[in-house]
A = this chain, B = another copy of it.
Amino acid sequence: MSRRQDIIRRATELFERKGVSSTSFEDIAKAVGIKREGVYYYFKSRADILMEIILPESSTLLMSLKNILRTTMTPREKLEAAIESHLARFNPSYLEMSVALQESHVVKNEERLAELRSTWQNYSDLWVALIREGQANGDFRAELDPKAAAFGILGMCNWVSRWYDPRGPLTIRDITKTFSVLVSEGLVEERVAQEPALNE
């Protein structure tokens, strides 16, 4: 493994364990067993390191959604697979930062930022396409705005980074199940139609 790869791997471990904002260059250097300057030789900032982690992660997420959309599953099954795929790759600390990365001033490398943006753009476009597909064949409610619905679902999933506690009782699996039912069937319990009571 190259020194550069070693830095990325150790930083990934630290980001996962402590979160990005609590991980210093000092911590990363220590984990690699080099001096702080050694990390600076390869990366100008934590944002640069994170970019190297997030770019491949984002591409994997995009690829996974493309594969789901290519299958012969029903739109509903695709929807559930897409939620599962999104949350399965879910790492709160990355996501937290991928949000921060959208503030372009954090990252100086404009070219890589553009690459990340275009991946995200493709990814959300595919989500909108999934909703439209389901609406077109009558599986999904036609009255919903497809963009608002798609971004609503993505938001639901992404916001998990604000409240999910890996040490808490609720697992990503539980969250995935609840979100799947919530999004496809809604909160409201269907009632068995009752016979009107006879008033006599």
Contact = CB atoms under 8 A, between A and B. Distances in A.
Interface of A: 21, 76, 79, 99, 102-103, 105, 124, 131, 134, 138-145, 147-149, 151-160, 162-163, 170, 174-175, 177-179, 181-190
Contacts of A143: 181
Contact of A186 (B21, B105, B159, B184): B184
Copies of this chain present in the complex amount to 2
B21 A103 contact: yes
A187 to B, nearest CB: 5
A57 to B, nearest CB: 18
Given A143-B181, A174-B145, A156 B162 contact: no
29 contacts: A21-B105, A131-B187, A134-B187, A139-B189, A141-B187, A141-B189, A143-B181, A145-B175, A148-B170, A148-B178, A149-B178, A149-B187, A151-B159, A152-B156, A152-B159, A152-B175, A152-B178, A152-B182, A153-B156, A155-B160, A155-B162, A155-B163, A156-B156, A158-B162, A182-B183, A182-B186, A183-B187, A185-B188, A190-B190
B147 A181 contact: no
Contact of A158 (B76, B155, B157): B155
A159 B155 CA distance: 5
A17 B99 CA distance: 21
Given A156-B156, A158-B159, A160-B155, A183 B181 contact: no
